[in-house]
Structure 1
Amino acid sequence: MQFSSIGSGSKGNGTLIRSGETLLLIDCGFSLKETLARLAAKGVSPEQLDAIFVTHEHGDHINGVAALARRYQIPVYLSAGTRYVGKLSKVAQLQTIADASPVVVGEIEVLPVAVPHDAREPLQYLFHSGGLCIGVLTDLGCITRHVVDHYQQCDGLLLECNHDPYLLSTGPYPPSLKGRVGGNYGHLSNQQAAELLRLVDRERLQRLVVAHISEQNNARERVLEQLLPEVDAERLVFADQGQGFDWITLKEAGMARCDNTLFGTLSLGGN
């Protein structure tokens, strides 16, 4: 299995999952033109996409979904709540899915997982193929038992480290937005991400991708302060807003292999 990102952050998100001939896109928060350019940078043409899985209706995750799906006739999977919002009503191939009810697309089994976030019916996802599991877990305000139970054994995990609580509290956001981001239906802090790692099987984890980092309320050195006691640096990759991260290949035995030089992104400094 492989995974990559075309961008991660408040200005747009998109994650690619590949196994064999099956290629999935999770969310698309960019314009069609920008999406095509970002896909091309990862060596992907839109005709290769077998499906788009939507996590929730916020613009940084859904803005480009309808245009991409309509032009290239790609089926879109989403929760009943996200469908009810109506932002994708003009997409011909909508498939409604539900928490803990797996669906199979090509060579990949996809398990939706309900999470607490300020959206209609948000989902995150686990992807299984060939005995491997990739988890995508962003846009949730707290770690629930339901999340811990389902994300126990990931070989690859894309995990939100949105903010540092101190930087959020002293940062430029208005009080209402600070409350939303830091609340139980907002976004995970670095500390909450580290808490999740303490509760799951870290020995199996080949690669941990740090995602959805706030440009205003976080810094990489603060992320590393929290995560390095739980996962060694050789397994860490940072996703960024501009380029996401390059393809990571997971293997059934031993550590994952990165197709490009990723660890240069581990240098300390604000994002």
Structure 2
Amino acid sequence: MDIKILASGSSGNAYRISDGKTSLLLDAGIPFKEIQKGCDFRTGSISGCLVTHRHGDHSKAIPKMLQRGMHVYSNDDVAALYPGVRAMKPLLEYGIGTFSVLPFEVEHDVPCYGYQVESQTTGEKLVYITDSAYVKYTFAGLTHLMVEANYAQEIIIDNAKNERIPLHLAERVIKTHMSIETLLGLLKANDMSTVRQIYLLHLSDGNSDAEAFKRHVQQETGAEVYIA
């Protein structure tokens, strides 16, 4: 599985994955020109874009993508907001090129999906999770994991106590995004024996510690770990 990070964080999120025959975008939260650049100006080679939810840092480019005739998939909430988006139902499998896509609901402050994407060509299986306080599902046979590690509980609490961030913002982040502690629990709950690569996504600039997060996840899984 070839994975390319176009953008990750509160200013915008977009990723390209490919199994050599089919390419997909995961989220479209940056200007369309940046997506074009990240795809080497070959957006016609993209078979579809899987959008997790309506927030702008994940959906910004949807109108332009639809204008260009690109296929965009998401939940009912995003489809109602952007006519032309193809609504997927949770826990139903969809075929897009050589990929089999299974959307599932995650916990955020608006309806939000995660996606399991399996290549029928290579047999590789990827799960993509972002903007989720936690995930109630477990997964089997994964080879790649792209998952949010937004903050560390100790860091964000200390920042709020010392007024480096507003208390209401800290409370919202804790309720709607995944901490490194929750992520480590998710990793323990799943069989990581076949996972080769893990990408840590959407790290908060002031509430995370990238090197510590990477070290903890490597120790837990033994996989290659990358910071987006």
TM-score where L is the length of structure 1 = 0.77
Q: Tell me, what secondary structure is at the counterpart of 1:196?
A: helix
Output aligned runs, 1:56-75, within 5 Å: 56-71=53-68, 73-75=69-71
Q: Identical aligned pairs, as a percentage? A: 25
| Distance apart, 1:153 and its partner CA | 2.5
Contact kept in structure 2, 1:2 and 1:19, CA below 8 Å: yes
1:142 corresponding residue in structure 2: 134
Query: Does residue 1:155 correspond to 2:155, yes or no?
Result: no
Contact 1:164–1:222 under 8 Å retained in 2: no
- Shift of the alpha carbon at 1:30? 0.8
Q: Which runs of 5+ in 1 are unaligned?
A: 240-271
The residue type paired with residue 54 of structure 1 is: V
Residues 134 and 157 in structure 1, CA contact (< 8 A), matched pair in contact too:
yes
- Higher relative contact order (Cα pairs below 8 Å, separated by 6+ residues): 1
Describe the SS at the equivalent of 1:3: strand
Deviation, structure 1 residue 219: 1.3
> Alpha-carbon deviation of 1:231?
2.1
- Report whether the alignment pairs 1:236 with 2:225: yes
The Cα of 1:229 is off from its aligned counterpart by 2.7
The residue correspondences of 1:61-140 to structure 2 (distance < 5 A) are 61-71=58-68, 73-84=69-80, 86=81, 88-89=82-83, 93-119=84-110, 121-130=111-120, 131-140=123-132
- Which stretches in structure 2 are left out of the alignment for 5+ residues? none
Where 2:219 maps in the other structure, the secondary structure is: coil
CA shift, 1:225, in A, is 4.9
Give the TM-score, by structure 2 length: 0.91
Contact 2:54 2:77 in 1 (8 A): no
**Shift of residue 12 of structure 1?**
0.6
| Change in CA separation of 1:177 and 1:75 when aligned onto 2, cut-off 3 Å | same
Name the SS for the 1:141 alignment partner.
coil
Are the counterparts in 2 of residues 82 and 122 from structure 1 also a CA contact under 8 Å? Answer: no
Q: Partner amino acid for 1:8?
A: S
**Residue correspondences, number:** 222
SS of the residue aligned with 2:204? coil
In structure 2, the residue matched to 1:257 is: none
SS at match of 1:221: helix
- The CA deviation string for residues 35-76 of structure 1, in whole angstroms up to 9 with x for no partner, is 222322xxx6111111111100011000112212312x1111
Residue-by-residue CA offset, 1:64-105 (whole Å, 9 max, x unaligned) = 12212312x111111112223x1x23xxx4211111011101
SS in 1 for 2:39: helix
CA contact (8 A) 2:14 2:58 kept: yes
